[in-house]
Amino acid sequence: MIPLVKTGLPPKEILLPALEEVLYSGYIAQGKVVDAFEEKFCQYIGNNYSVSVNSGTSALHIALILAGVKAGDEVISTPITAEPTNTSILQTGAKVIFADVDYRTGNLDPKDVIKKITSKTKAIMIVHYAGMPVDIDAFQKIEEDYGIPVIEDAAHALGAKYRNKKIGNHFKYSTFSFQAIKHMTTIDGGMLCLRNEEDYEKAKIIRWFGLDKKKTRKENNITTQGYKYHMNNVNAQIGLVQLNRIEKLVHPYIENGKFFDEKFKDIDGVKTIEYYENSEPSYWLYTMKVENREEFIESMAAEGIMVSDLHKRNDLHSIFNSKSSNLKHTDSFTKKMVHIPCGWWLEVNDRTKIVEAVKRFYS
């Protein structure tokens, strides 16, 4: 079976010596290795301030806190995403307001977001779903016109670009995930990218119980709620090794995604995703819309190809209490959306097998 997702780790002969160096160093908690990982990630993304944490979910929670989101507020978000995007909003005590998606892309529709803005709206959560950048120009204009901060969930979009700049540079708060099956894994972990030093210093305090690690215990005085969200040296060491080969991890997704775009564009029954102008996807998942989806998924499985719609649309979870949501484009998109394998593990014959299987089904 060709898997839909797969963990990408460095070769044993490279990773294990690096891990041994940290594991038997006498210090495995958050330390200099974490600092080095953050610095190297900044260099890759092209920003100045990055704070590593134990998960992408933790990064989202800190971003929401920094944006000033509190209990009783509203955050506009997308229903098409992994659940932590929106459960992190609930952690603050705020309410999730789901806006509709653009049927062409599956990403949040800025026009519908504007319709959902109220006096209670304190942030907008965007997701570059499956590695496809949203209409960043439109959301930057909303941020400017309405004074509402945009939080960028880039868990799927490592290596993607918009206007020739890597995702992670376009908004005040950007988050990444290094969970097991993402473009780059540190086994588990995440990163919060920020624009200014003030937020950077606050984020470091929030991730460590509300304590300032530059001060002694006696000097410290907790003035804000903090959490145990930090990354340790072991995960950071894996991250450093991964960053040494980051293009080998990310580039195959992009190469395979472009290959499938070309091969599927003229197949009746298949509609490829339309990308926004100036965007360069990183194709964490190859997403397309298909006719007879359930039968298609079964047919692909019979051919040894794992295919799935993966995430349940979030507004259907009762915890969000969103029964009144009118999301007609989300309805239409999720009925046809499907993902096929696209990552670094695909060999040339795997890509050919997938294309031929799709063509056979719709012939």
Residues 278 and 142 in one domain: no
In a domain, 6, yes or no: no
State yes or no: is 161 an active-site residue. no
Same-domain check for residues 57 and 150: yes
Give residue 32's pLDDT.
98
Domain membership flag for residue 4? no
The total of structural domains in the chain comes to: 2
Say if residue 225 is in the same domain as residue 263. Answer: no
Most confident of 68-82, 306-320, 324-338: 68-82
Q: Which of 243, 258, 280 is the last residue of a domain?
A: 243
The token pair that represents 161 in the structure block:
């670009």
The answer to whether the Cα torsion of 303, 342, 186, 13 is positive or negative is positive
| The pLDDT of residue 326 | 86
Q: What is the pTM of this model?
A: 0.96
170 and 37 within one domain: yes
Banded pLDDT at 324 (limits 50, 70, 90): low
pLDDT of 335 over the 90 cut? yes
The percentage of the chain sitting over the pLDDT mark of 90, rounded to a whole number, equals: 96
In percent, how much of the chain has pLDDT > 70? 99
Which one of 203, 219, 243 terminates a domain? 243
**pLDDT over 80 at 325, yes or no:** no
Tell me the average pLDDT across 58-62.
Answer: 99
Domain boundary among 189, 209, 243: 243
pLDDT(323) > 70: no
| Same domain for 278 and 148 | no
pLDDT of amino acid 18 = 99
pLDDT at 321: 85
Q: 227 and 278 in one domain?
A: no
Q: 268 pLDDT band (50/70/90 cuts)?
A: very high
User: Residue 301: which pLDDT band, with cuts at 50, 70 and 90?
Assistant: very high
15-41 pLDDT, tens digit each:
999 999 999 999 999 999 999 999 999
Q: Check whether residue 43 and residue 179 sit in a common domain.
A: yes
Quick one: 233 and 257 in the same domain? no
Which CATH number do you get for residue 233?
A: 3.40.640.10
Which residue is catalytic, options 182, 204, 263, 289? Answer: 182
* pLDDT (average), residues 339-347: 98
Residues 71 and 187 in one domain: yes
Q: pLDDT by residue (tens digit) across 4-16?
A: 999 999 999 999 9
In terms of domains, do 72 and 132 share one? yes
Average pLDDT in the chain: 97
Residue 3 lies in a domain: no
Residue 347 has pLDDT above 70, yes or no: yes
pLDDT band at 322 (very low <50, low <70, confident <90, very high): confident
Containing structural domain, residue 303: 247-361
Domain identity same for 144 and 233: yes
In terms of Cα–Cα distance, which of 294, 311, 297 is closest to 358? 297
Is residue 201 located within the same domain as residue 331?
no
